[in-house]
A and B are shown apart, each in its own frame.
Chain A
């Protein structure tokens, strides 16, 4: 069967529908998830099919319903919690980092927490400092959590199905600017395993590792680089934990140059970690230092011309790559 074109939001909705049909223990909690289908309309229609027992509107209590999901996950449900904006994960931090992440280990492997937290990342929506951050590094830091960063409708669907079936707490970050982006999605059932990077474009001269919102930016930059005579390989790790170190390292060894583009803050972030993984393992095969590109280290400003300065663009990726290949 040929692939269809779906939007990112449709792909996510389809994954949820399929998993909720397959497994009656899967349920959704969050603010305005039922009739409203979330402010982004990602969940439109779900409450009609699955009922308000399984698509549950909560009060504005992020810590409360996240913790309730932890307890429900331990005792027989598979909750998918919806945190409207990634900036609000700060409110859930104790339940995620101290409870969900640690229950399995602290109990000597006896209790499990099969839950998913869906949330967003990404700037340039003119939403200012408290609705624009990309905080996936916070969860990536904590052993016991898995972190997923899909960059296409196809990846979003396959990875979300895997997340729901996983027996661990999984944080799933969706780029809110991507919800309407279209891409091919297989007709037939499929899942995508965690810890398997995807080479989005093959190349010889430089490896550009890019995550989530930055994958399309990196692919755009690769097109510009090609015109300048530079062949760029673009790799999407798809999950920051587990991390497919092997694919990243082998690519850097092949091309001899690497840079990492991630929309989180550059300092102490995902880009820094991936750069270190590559530098440690591929140092003697590299012809240049590994470069990081992340969000500018400021609270995201509201004013559009200012906000646009804070995120990596095709142009800035192109320039850094070209400099590395000099």
Chain B
């Protein structure tokens, strides 16, 4: 990856940034591996859509945001929530339906929301949050608070008309919102080329919205482009559209085991061995001399220890009381 400038490499802040990004990506990976485990052991109810393989996008984008900036997320949202600052223990608690979860157990895996970290919510309707994100950007502009909103969605959302309604408005009104299209090639069990006419960036171009396509496995590339868009949005340049090419390692959800009918094993293997975001950043850190094997091993040990404790916390946490069932229907 060539976008790291000399000054970027030299500065201590940059070293810290990439070590932090490495730790965060590893946390998401470790989180999702434990979700897989909890789910297959029947400890987690519902559905689990894993973000394994896509970690660099959430981390690269959120690295460009402030804590009080907003995000909206999707059914495959654990990575976005963690990257925006959610704590793994309360995330696991929510996934297990426990009172200590971010939504007191009422949201679950697909609805993590947290005002403290600017998380407006994951959404189980494909493209369901694109208007909410755009509305948050409208508030930020009206209130002049300088906040930027990032709207994460999968390429499946390109099929929803709502996206184009709000992109039109975002550009008309120059709203500080960054649309991040995570193209992991498959919407559930169908290759996106079977469902998507034309080119993805052409959709942004139609509204005069600036777009860039990046290697979503390269956290530094994602960060560089996201930071540029976020800075522009904060300055008042209006929306941006970022297409991040990526791959999900596992099935659409944990139960999607036999996948050969829609994608070959060799393809999965190729992404895992050649295009893994953690391996790419890890070997870059080593090559640049910004970390050695011992540092990376220590980070891994710390992350794994934290996440094991987080799982234990969630398993031990109590369920909500029955009286909670009809609380908070109305504010």
The residues of A with any CB-CB pair to B shorter than 8 Å are 27, 53, 58-59, 61, 63-77, 79, 94-95, 98-99, 103-114, 143-144, 146, 167-168
For the complex, give the distance between the alpha carbons of A314 and B136 in Å.
48
Contacts of B329 in A (CB 8 A): 104-105, 143-144
Q: Is the CB of B121 within 8 A of A67?
A: no
* B165 & A63 in contact (Cβ 8 Å cutoff): yes
State whether the Cβ of B28 lies closer than 8 Å to any Cβ in chain A: no
Cα distance A105–B113 when bound, in Å?
11
Q: How far, in whole Å, are A105 and B105 apart by their CA atoms in the complex?
A: 10
Asked if B161 is at the interface (CB within 8 A of a chain A CB), the reply is yes
A70-B131 contact in complex given A63-B162, A64-B165, A167-B331, C-beta closer than 8 Å: yes
Whether A71 lies near B131 (C-beta < 8 A) is: yes
Measured between C-beta atoms, what is the minimum distance from A8 to chain B in Å? 27
Inter-subunit contact B111/A107 (CB<8 Å): yes
Known pairs A72-B138, A75-B139, A111-B121; A99 contacts B128 (CB<8 A): yes
The answer to whether B113 touches A72 (Cβ under 8 A) is no
1/0 contact string of B76-107 vs chain A (CB within 8 Å): 00000000000000000000000001111111
Q: Which residues of B contact A66 (CB under 8 A)?
A: 131
B113 and A106 contacting across the interface, CB-CB below 8 Å: yes
Contact partners of A59 in chain B: CB under 8 A: 165, 168-169, 172
- Could you tell me the distance in whole angstroms from the C-beta of A122 to the nearest C-beta in chain B? 27
Which residue of A is nearest B165, CB measured?
Answer: A64
Q: Is the beta-carbon distance between A99 and B132 smaller than 8 angstroms?
A: yes
Give the Cβ gap from A195 to chain B, nearest Cβ, in Å: 11
CB closest residue in chain A, given B110: A106
Chain A contacts for B149, CB-based, 8 A: 71
Cβ distance A14 to chain B, nearest Cβ, rounded Å: 24
| Contact, CB under 8 Å: B331 / A109 | yes
Does B211 count as interface, using CB distance less than 8 angstroms? no
CB-CB under 8 A for A74 and B107, given A67-B166, A98-B125, A110-B113? no
CA distance A142 to B216 in the complex (A): 39
A-B contact pairs, 25 of them (CB 8 A): A59-B168, A61-B168, A64-B168, A65-B165, A67-B162, A71-B120, A71-B134, A71-B136, A71-B138, A71-B139, A73-B135, A74-B120, A74-B135, A75-B135, A75-B139, A76-B142, A77-B142, A94-B128, A103-B113, A104-B330, A107-B106, A108-B101, A109-B327, A143-B329, A144-B329
A111 neighbours in B (Cβ, 8 Å): 113, 115, 120-121
Judging by beta carbons under 8 Å apart, are A68 and B111 in contact? no
A69, B142: Cα distance in complex, Å: 13
A98 to B143, CA, bound (A): 27
- Whether A65 lies near B169 (C-beta < 8 A) is yes
Nearest CB of A to B65, in Å: 15
Known: A68-B135, A104-B329, A104-B330. 15 other contacts (CB 8 A): A53-B142, A59-B168, A65-B169, A68-B132, A70-B132, A71-B133, A72-B138, A76-B143, A95-B131, A99-B125, A107-B115, A108-B107, A109-B104, A110-B103, A110-B114
Q: Considering the chains assembled together, what is the distance between the CA atoms of A61 and B72 in angstroms? A: 21
The number of residues on chain B lying at the interface, defined by a beta carbon within 8 Å of a beta carbon of chain A, is: 46
Instruction: Decide if B57 is an interface residue (CB 8 Å cutoff).
Output: no
Q: Is B260 an interface residue (CB 8 A)?
A: no
**What's the Cα separation between A58 and B170 when bound, in Å?**
11
Bound state CA distance, A79 and B114, in angstroms? 22
Cα A198 to Cα B101 in complex, Å, equals: 43
A64 touching B169 by the CB < 8 A rule? yes
CB of A77 within 8 A of CB of B138, answer: yes
* Inter-subunit contact A58/B132 (CB<8 Å): no
Question: Contact flags (1/0) for B139-173 with A, using CB distance below 8 Å?
Answer: 11011010001000000000001100110110010
* Inter-subunit contact A107/B165 (CB<8 Å): no
The verdict on B229 contacting chain A, using a C-beta distance below 8 Å, is: no
When distances are taken between beta carbons in the complex, the residues of chain B under 8 Å from A104 are: 328-331
| Bound form: Cα–Cα A181–B165 in Å | 36
B241 interfacial by beta-carbon distance below 8 Å: no
Most chain A beta-carbon neighbours within 10 Å: one of B139, B162, B330: B330
Closest to B108 in A: A106
Q: Which among B101, B145, B166, B331 is the interface contact of A68 at CB below 8 angstroms? A: B166
Contact A67:B331 (CB < 8 A) given known A75-B139, A106-B121: no
Indicate the member of A69, A75, A168 with the most B CB atoms within 10 Å: A75
Q: Does B25 contact A (CB under 8 A)?
A: no
Chain A hits for B129, CB < 8 A: 99
Look across to chain A and name the residue whose beta carbon is closest to the beta carbon of B151: A71
A46–B328 Cα distance when bound, in Å, is: 35
- Contact pick for A72, options B106, B111, B139, B165, CB 8 Å: B139
CB neighbours of A110 from chain B (8 A):
103, 113-115
Least Cβ–Cβ distance between A318 and chain B, in angstroms: 38
Q: Which residues of A contact B132 (CB under 8 A)?
A: 67-68, 70-71, 74, 99
Q: How far is the CB of B327 from chain A (nearest CB, A)?
A: 7
Nearest residue in B to A58 (C-beta to C-beta)? B169
Give B150 Cβ to nearest chain A Cβ, in Å.
13
The 9 closest A-B pairs by CB, nearest first: A67-B131, A71-B135, A64-B165, A108-B104, A71-B132, A109-B328, A61-B165, A108-B103, A68-B135
Chain B residues, Cβ within 8 Å of A63: 131, 161-162, 165
Q: Which of A71, A74, A77, A113 has the most CB of B within 10 A?
A: A71
List B contacts of A113 (CB < 8 A): 331
Q: CB-nearest residue of chain B relative to A27? A: B142
* Contact of A75 with B70 at beta-carbon distance under 8 Å, contacts A65-B169, A144-B329 already known: yes
Given A104-B329, A109-B328, A109-B331, do A72 and B104 touch, yes or no (CB 8 Å)? no
